[in-house]
Amino acid sequence: LTLLRRDHYYARSFSKIELMPIYDVSVPLSAATPTYPGDPGIEINQFLSLTNGNAANVSLLHFGAHSGTHVDAPAHFIADGARADSIPLQTLIGVAEVIEVPPAVKVIDGGFISESCQRREERVLFKTRNSSFWSDNASGFRSDYTSLDVSAAERLIDLGVKLVGIDYLSIEAYGSETFATHHVLLGKNVVIVEGLDLRTIVPGRYEFICLPLRLAGGSGDGAPARAVLRTLPTN
C-alpha cells in the first residue's frame, strides 16, 4: 500500500509531469573525466570517420564500467551477486529525495541519516561538497571526497532505502581496505549510484530516472548511466 501511494503521482498527473523541468545529473564522459585510481582511463576514439574517407563516423569506446555517473550492482563486491543488467527498473525510476550534506560533514554517518532522512523515500541522493569537484576536472581525481560509513549504510537499510546516490566516484571513504559500506549496501541489494553531479539541484523531492547501459557481457559489476531529476508536480 505504501508503495502504491508513493507511485500514485504517475497515474494522477502524467500530463503535468511532461511539463516539469528536467535536470541532467550525469557527468559528461570524455578523456578529461576523472576516474577512480586503478580503474581504466576513458578513451573515446574515432574508429571510422568521414574525414578519413569512411562512409560514417563511428566512435570506439574504451573505459571501465565505473566511469563517470554509474551504478554499482551487487556483483561488484559479492560473488554471484545480482548483475547490473538485472537491477529492477522499478528501483531505478521513482521518487528520490536529494539531501544536502553540509560541507563540514566529510563522513556521512548513522547519526546524520537519523537527523536528515525523515521522509523515508526509497531513493536517497546525497548532495555534498563533492559536486563542486566537477567544476575542476583538470585537477584530476580528488581523494578527499565526502563518503558514507557503515553506520549510515545500516541506518539506510533500516529505513527501507533501495537506492543510494552520491556525487563522486565512490560512496566509500578513499583508502578503505574492507569496502564495508559497499558490502553492507550491496549485500542487501541496495543499488549504489556514484558520480552524480548535483551542483545545480535544490535539495528536495524529485522523480529520479537512472538508466544504466544494459551491459550483458563482463561480470555485471556496474554500468555507466544517464541520470536525470524531474521536478514533481505540486499536486
Q: How far is the CB of 112 from Zn ion (least distance, A)?
A: 22
Q: How far is the CB of 7 from Zn ion (least distance, A)?
A: 27
Of residues 215, 11, 205, 218, the one with CA closest to residue 95: 205
Residue pair 64/169 in contact by the 8 Å Cβ criterion:
no
Q: How far is the CB of 192 from Zn ion (least distance, A)?
A: 7
Question: Residue 223: helix, strand or coil by DSSP?
Answer: strand
Residues 177-196 that bind Zn ion (CB under 5 A): 194
**Burial (CB count within 10 angstroms: exposed 0-12, middle 13-18, buried 19+), residue 8:** exposed
Q: Between 167 and 194, whose beta carbon lies closer to Zn ion? A: 194
Q: Between 72 and 122, whose beta carbon lies closer to Zn ion? A: 72
The answer to whether residue 72 forms part of the interface with Zn ion (CB under 5 A) is yes
Q: Between 66 and 83, whose beta carbon lies closer to Zn ion? A: 66
Catalytic residue among 66, 76, 182, 183: 76
Q: Between 72 and 97, whose beta carbon lies closer to Zn ion? A: 72
Q: How far is the CB of 193 from Zn ion (least distance, A)?
A: 9
The answer to whether residue 66 forms part of the interface with Zn ion (CB under 5 A) is yes
Q: How far apart are CA 138 and CA 8, in angstroms?
A: 44
Residue pair 205/232 in contact by the 8 Å Cβ criterion:
yes
**Radius of gyration of the chain from Cα atoms?**
18
Stretch that binds Zn ion, among 9-17, 91-99, 151-159, 218-226 (CB under 5 A): 218-226
66 catalytic? Reply is no
Residues 6+ apart with CB under 8 A from 115: none
> Using CB under 5 A as the criterion, what x/- string covers residues 23-62 for binding Zn ion?
----------------------------------------
Stretch that binds Zn ion, among 8-16, 63-71, 158-166, 172-180 (CB under 5 A): 63-71
End-to-end CA separation in angstroms for the chain: 20
Q: How far apart are CA 152 and CA 172, in angstroms?
A: 11
User: What are the catalytic residues?
Assistant: 76
